[in-house]
Amino acid sequence: MGIFSDDSGKTHLKLFDFGSAYQLSHEHADRMLEKDHFDLATCLHFILSGIDPLSGSLSSVELKQARETLVAGCWTVASAAAPLADVIQDGWTGRACKASFGSIAAHVDGALGLAPMDEVLCSSRPDSYYGDLEVRCRNWLGSATRSLLWMSREDYFAACKSVGID
């Protein structure tokens, strides 16, 4: 994810890395593409509603059941995510695989009333904007506070192991 401000001062969240780097000729390309769309749908649902439909799973069996419920289209999209309900359901059920990520991004932009990403990213910025980018990033990182819910890698592994996930 990335956060940036455009020339008008609006702040934008950029999501990336849902389109894995694989060849379409790869024997499992269809499944990888389906997973990328599923993960994007889950992420969009969480960002819009604060609800992760997979978070209540306490075992690999429960996680598999929750995923199957989403794939079957039997989970109701939260009302806060309603503007993108079609995108989310299509991602979960696999129907989105027929669409490119670019067309999905354009649909999301339209549904949320956003400027197309290419217009936002191609806006000109003065050289000074890029010259002090590292300083601004360091300042932001220095002022950011870590969530108390965030676990260290070791704690995360221990928590997974305690519920039977290796």
pLDDT of residue 17 exceeding 60: no
d(CA 142, CA 58): 35
Dump pLDDT digits (tens) for 63-103. 999 999 999 999 999 999 999 999 999 999 998 888 887 88
Work out the average pLDDT over 39-55.
90
Q: How many degrees, rounded to 5, is the angle at CA 149 between CA 66 and CA 15?
A: 65
Question: What whole-number percentage of the chain has pLDDT above 70?
Answer: 79
- Per-residue pLDDT averaged across 131-155, rounded? 80
Q: Check whether 121 has a pLDDT greater than 70.
A: no
The whole-number pLDDT of residue 105 equals 84
Query: What is the three-class DSSP state of 102?
Result: helix
Report the C-alpha gap between 129 and 137 in whole angstroms.
Answer: 12
- Sketch the domain layout of the chain as residue ranges: 2-125
How confident is residue 166, by pLDDT bands cut at 50, 70 and 90? Answer: confident
pTM for this one?
A: 0.61
- The percent of residues above 90 in pLDDT, for the chain, comes to 26
Let me know: does 88 contact 40? Beta carbons within 8 Å: no
Output the six-digit token pair for 32: 């990888």
